[in-house]
Amino acid sequence: MTGEERRNELLNTISKSVAPISGAALAKKYQVSRQVIVQDMALLRAAHHEIYATPKGYVIQTSHRISSKQSKQVLKEYRVAHTDEQIEDELNTIVDMGGRVLDVSIRHEVYGTIRGDLPIRCRKHVQDFIEEIRSGKSKPLKNLTSGGIHYHKVEADSEETLELIEQELKRKGYLV
């Protein structure tokens, strides 16, 4: 198998997976070192594939996933604020309503916009994210702003889904 063939297979494998896949698992599957997988991922990203490395493994941006339907995805950015204790409920609200959280960003007074990838598509991803925050590895990005105001870019299958998400975030008092 050539490097190009392997990268195409890697892209296909990650695109079809509903859960992150570790570099070690991919290395074993394709009988190469983990470092080769890391290099392949860098090359795929350079080719404009939105692949993210999470603590649990590699995932691909939902709108770039291979699907038989190839449905049109819509995006909306929500301006929100809440306590640290409400993070889990906020993210679960979005995924429960059919949204996929792509990132979190803040508008910092000195640094400007700071954005972090946050590929959350289901409650399991929310749980994993909350565990990472609670472990003390880092603090939520929202805590760098006064009032905790931050933004989430959310993807969904329809404008109606985004409207339902907005209504629920507003009802819960998260929408600013």
Q: Which of 16, 165, 146 is nearest to 101 (CA)?
A: 165
The 10s digit of each residue's pLDDT in 2-43 is 988 999 899 889 888 878 899 999 999 999 999 999 999 988
Distances (CA, A) of 105 to 13, 132, 158, 169, 174: 29, 18, 23, 17, 15
Burial 121-156 (b: 16+ CB within 10 A, else e): beeebbebbeeeeeeeeeebbbebeeebebbbbbbb
Q: Which of 88, 141, 87, 94 is nearest to 113 (CA)?
A: 141
* Backbone torsion region of residue 112, taken as left when φ is above 0, otherwise alpha when ψ lies between -120 and 50, otherwise beta: left
Q: Which of 89, 81, 8 is nearest to 44 (CA)?
A: 8
* Count of CA atoms in the C-beta half-sphere (13 A) of 100: 18
The Cα 176–Cα 173 span in angstroms is: 8
Average of per-residue pLDDT values in the chain: 87
Q: Which domains does the chain have, with CATH numbers?
A: 3-61 (1.10.10.10), 74-171 (3.30.1340.20)
pLDDT score recorded for residue 62 = 52
The 10s digit of each residue's pLDDT in 69-96 is 444 689 999 999 999 999 999 999 999 9
**With a threshold of 0.85, does the pTM exceed it?**
no
The Cα 54–Cα 86 span in angstroms is: 22
The 10s digit of each residue's pLDDT in 113-138 is 898 888 899 999 999 999 999 998 88
